[in-house]
Amino acid sequence: MDYGAVAGGYVNAFMDNLDWAQVYARYQPAVHAASEPFGAKSDELAEAVLLDVRRFGMYQQAATTIPGARWRDPARVDEWCAELPTDREVVVYCVYGHEVGRSTAMRLRAAGLKARFLRGGIDGWQTAGRPLAPKADPS
């Protein structure tokens, strides 16, 4: 008997029967609650490493970024987090400062970095009349 195939079948059946809308409904408030103490305001970025972590498609559509920010793919945090300094604060931002920015900051904190997310994201930054810069090619 191929126990791997049997176990895989059970796992696949389990995953197929999950109500993913319910999972997400619980996940998002949990991320918000856990990350709330790590929000940064627009005027708290001066000494931080600033990372634009908008999802690839959103970044591709955008014409601007916050000055000094570098884009990093939030889906690949594990690949690039080791490049970041451990002795400086890192602030990440997404479009609105909700799920992507918060979850990326939490993943960076779990990797031992002093990470925070920008409250309001780039949308809040722009709404406040703060400067924007033309975006660079992703690296």
pLDDT at 7 over 70: no
Whole-number pLDDT of residue 1: 45
At residue 55, the pLDDT reads: 96
The model's pLDDT over 65-105, given as tens digits with 9 standing for 90+, comes to 999 999 999 999 999 999 999 999 999 999 999 889 999 99
What are residue 70's phi and psi, to 5 degrees? -115, 140
CA distance 48 to 126: 19
Residue 11 inside a domain? The answer is: no
CATH of the domain at 86: 3.40.250.10
What pLDDT shows up at residue 11?
77
Assigned domain for 51 exists: yes
Average per-residue pLDDT in the chain?
89
Report in angstroms the alpha-carbon separations of 9 from 1, 16, 17, 20.
Answer: 13, 10, 12, 19
Name the residue range of residue 126's domain: 38-134
Neighbours of 65 (CB within 10 A): 21
| pLDDT for 19 | 85
**Residue 9 belongs to some domain of the structure:** no
Domain count for the chain, please give it. Answer: 1
More confident residue, 132 or 20: 132
Whether the CB-CB separation of 81 and 111 falls below 8 Å is answered with: yes
Do the Cβ atoms of 47 and 68 come closer than 8 Å? Answer: no
How far is C-alpha 80 from the geometric centre of its chain's CA atoms?
13
Is 112 a member of any domain? yes
